Structure 1
Amino acid sequence: MWARELEAVHERFVHRFSRSEPRESALAYMRGLIAPLQRKNGWTLAEEAGHAGPDRIHRMLNRIEWDADEVLDDVRQYVVDNLGDPNAVLVVDDTGFLKKGTRSAGVQRQ
């Protein structure tokens, strides 16, 4: 069921990419984001997709020309069409945790 819905989301914005390679990379990227990986970075997402390295994912994110705002609009419309409810309530949870240490890069509240 998850795979079908992920493909349905992908179908909403796949036309924003002019070539098949970034279309495939976008789907692989989304699959990686929802995969139960301990860490999610270019390498782990690429490994989850079966790629030898992160180049394809990085290229799709950084070098291929596509409009992130248009893709966001497409995904937003999918959410409204499939999850929208006039009685819905949005809950924002500012729960976080403090990381340990003072010298590591990125040590701040997450």
Structure 2
Amino acid sequence: MASRFGQVEPRRRARAFVLGLLAELPRKNCWTTAEHAGDSSPAGMQHLLSRASWDADGVRDDIRDFVVEHLGNQGAVLVVDETGDLRKGTASVGVQRQYTGTAGRIDNAQVAVYLVYSTPAGHAAIDRRLYIPRSWTQDPDRCRAAGIPDHTGFATKPALATEMITQALDAGVTASWVTGDEV
């Protein structure tokens, strides 16, 4: 994945971030991953995730290819699932009061749809899409302030799942079937 980072610093920071996510930390956020990496503040991790220049879709493709190469199985299953992360405030992209299984209720949350590749040898996430509610896409000023590209329109969670499944199959991922929860 090194080629997906134009500079050394974001590449090193990404490595430290992933190691933090894999560590047995009580909570995983920019503060805890930064502390795990030996940083005195979360600023570097926050910069990586919000402002640093790197090819996130390329990293996704590299991870997908790695997972399929190591777990590949003709009977693989693609699993679609949404996950909500509780958020305070209203500035994080896509945040609004909405149902999230994480809380088991309607709460202020950011929701993403994930695609997982699953075989008897193991499973791993191979794609993701952030769900941006219609209330966001109908407010161009809010989208612009949050850094959402102007061409981004509303898409339902099933539409996001369809995009990911299509992209995976077009990339040569083979699966015998697809499953997910009620979405």
Q: TM-score, normalised by structure 2?
A: 0.43
Match of 2:74 in 1: 86
Higher helix share: 1
Higher strand share: 2
Give the CA deviation at 1:89.
3.4
Give the CA deviation at 1:30.
0.5
Q: Secondary structure at the match of 1:59?
A: helix
The count of corresponding residues between Structure 1 and Structure 2 is: 92
Q: Secondary structure at the match of 1:51?
A: coil
Backbone CA RMSD of aligned residues: 2.6
Which protein has greater RCO, CA pairs closer than 8 Å, 6+ apart? 1
Match of 1:73 in 2: 61
Give the CA deviation at 1:61.
1.3
Question: CA distance change for structure 1 residues 80 and 64 in 2, over 3 Å: closer, same or farther?
Answer: same
Match of 2:132 in 1: none
Give the CA deviation at 1:60.
1.3
Q: Structure 2: state its 5+ residue gaps.
A: 83-100, 110-183
Question: CA distance change for structure 1 residues 61 and 91 in 2, over 3 Å: closer, same or farther?
Answer: closer
Q: TM-score, normalised by structure 1?
A: 0.69
Match of 1:29 in 2: 17
Q: Runs of at least 4 residues of structure 1 off by over 2 A?
A: 87-94, 96-100
Question: CA distance change for structure 1 residues 97 and 17 in 2, over 3 Å: closer, same or farther?
Answer: closer
Distance in structure 2 (CA, Å) of the matches to 1:93 and 1:71: 20
